[in-house]
Structure 1
Amino acid sequence: MRKKIGAAVVGLAVTGATLLATGSASSHGYTDSPISRQKLCANKTVSNCGQIQWEPQSVEGPKGFPAAGPADGQICSGGNGQFAQLDNPRGGAWPATKVGSGQNYTFRWQFTARHRTTDFKYFITKPGWNPSEPLTRAALESQPFLTVPYGGQQPPATLSHSGNLPQRSGRHLILAVWTVHDTANAFYACSDVQF
């Protein structure tokens, strides 16, 4: 009997350690319109992505962006070292979604764990930003161009909402932030776009 209990305790400890090492038992969410860097990795559109290719929904970090949240240079990974490949600008060569300046665009999130939600915010890089450098707050407009309040509700498995893109030309990056209502975290998704 002691051997069976001991084996069960060891099994639970291994399971717990595995969950701690990978983040959490359930996953969360990512954007696929415009397609995010983590989804490009999961689709194998880009290579050398590391762990994020198996869990594109897990880019979770502290909420409160831009006053708080991930450090500059670690924004696309949500400050998670295990997803640092998302912060690598790859010489400005991430595949980019073609969009129109001032266009009404439909943003889409896919959720694998539907947390109660405060809001969704979308930031964009300033004119003249350098796409070959890691993303910093100084490279982004200080205010989101779109905020979608969600009032603590739980989103469906797929959620779309629309808003007008700012006037831009050339290559830019859109940072989508999903603020979880009842935890200290948010989810981050960087999408490269070409106007």
Structure 2
Amino acid sequence: MPRRFRTPRRTSLAVAAAAGVGASVLVAAPALAHGYTSDPPSRALLCKQGAVTNCGPIQWEPQSTEGPKGFPQSGPADGTICAAGDSRWAPLDDPRGGTWPATRVSSGPYTFTWHLTAAHATTSFRYFITRDGWDPARPLTRAQLDPAPFLQVDYGGTRPPYDVAHSGTLPAKRGRHMILAVWDIADTGNAFYQCSDVDFG
């Protein structure tokens, strides 16, 4: 007995048409900004490289730690800063008992680098560091950071290159610390957050 094929209803055709239009819009939309710090390497990059395991999906998307901008007045909640407030990247907020690999650094001149997988109009790149006496065995909070960035590079809405370098000066510190790099996007409500563990010795 031959199979009968039903003629699609008008509503089904309308839904299919709408889906096709949506797909076209998604394809045509400009790429969103993404990027990660490569020097000092961020926790996200260490996960991508396999230097740290049990990271969850951030190992495939180290460039995607995107959250609300306006830090420190607003932005990700305390304890979720390294993951940019996104629960998918929560392993980045886990202090692992203070055992994340730390890059050896010294106070003084330092060149900070980012690798961008999608550039975007930029307000600034800002770099914060933890206070003396902070607890590396606890998730990062605003109270653990020096209140002002030790380095800020303004872009005035221009688009940075895909590999970015910023020359600055690391403040006088001792022992383990964390550097929080914040990339503020000019034409969206978001920023990118990258946490790097460092050791001043």
- Per the normalisation by structure 1, the TM-score is 0.89
Closer/same/farther in 2, CA of residues 13 and 37 from structure 1, 3 Å limit: farther
Give the AA of the match of 1:86.
L
SS at the partner of 2:44? helix
Gaps of 5+ in 2: 1-6
Counterpart pick for 1:90 among 83, 92, 96: 96
| RMSD, matched Cα | 2.5
* Distance in structure 1 (CA, Å) of the matches to 2:22 and 2:93: 31
Which residue does 2:122 correspond to in 1? 117
Q: What whole-Å deviation, never above 9, does each CA across 1:148-174 have from its counterpart, x for those lacking one? A: 011100011101011000000000000
* Distance in structure 2 (CA, Å) of the matches to 1:183 and 1:89: 30
Give the AA of the match of 1:70.
P
Q: What whole-Å deviation, never above 9, does each CA across 1:28-85 have from its counterpart, x for those lacking one? A: 1110100000000011110000010010000000001000100000000000000000
Indicate conservation of the 8 Å contact 1:26/1:112, yes or no. Answer: no
Runs (4 or more) in structure 1 with deviation over 2 Å come to: 1-16, 24-27
2:69 is the counterpart of 1:31: no
Q: What whole-Å deviation, never above 9, does each CA across 1:120-159 have from its counterpart, x for those lacking one? A: 1000000000000000000000000000011100011101
Counterpart pick for 1:135 among 130, 134, 140: 140
Gaps of 5+ in 1: none
Indicate conservation of the 8 Å contact 1:115/1:154, yes or no. Answer: yes
- In the alignment of these two chains, the number of paired residues is 188
Q: Where do residues 137-156 of structure 1 align in structure 2 (5 Å cutoff)?
A: 137-156=142-161
- Percentage of identical aligned residues: 57
Closer/same/farther in 2, CA of residues 53 and 14 from structure 1, 3 Å limit: farther
Closer/same/farther in 2, CA of residues 136 and 12 from structure 1, 3 Å limit: farther
Give the AA of the match of 2:131.
K
Indicate conservation of the 8 Å contact 2:124/2:183, yes or no. Answer: yes
Larger radius of gyration: 2
- Per the normalisation by structure 2, the TM-score is 0.86
Q: What whole-Å deviation, never above 9, does each CA across 1:86-129 have from its counterpart, x for those lacking one? A: 0000100000011002x211000111110100001000000000
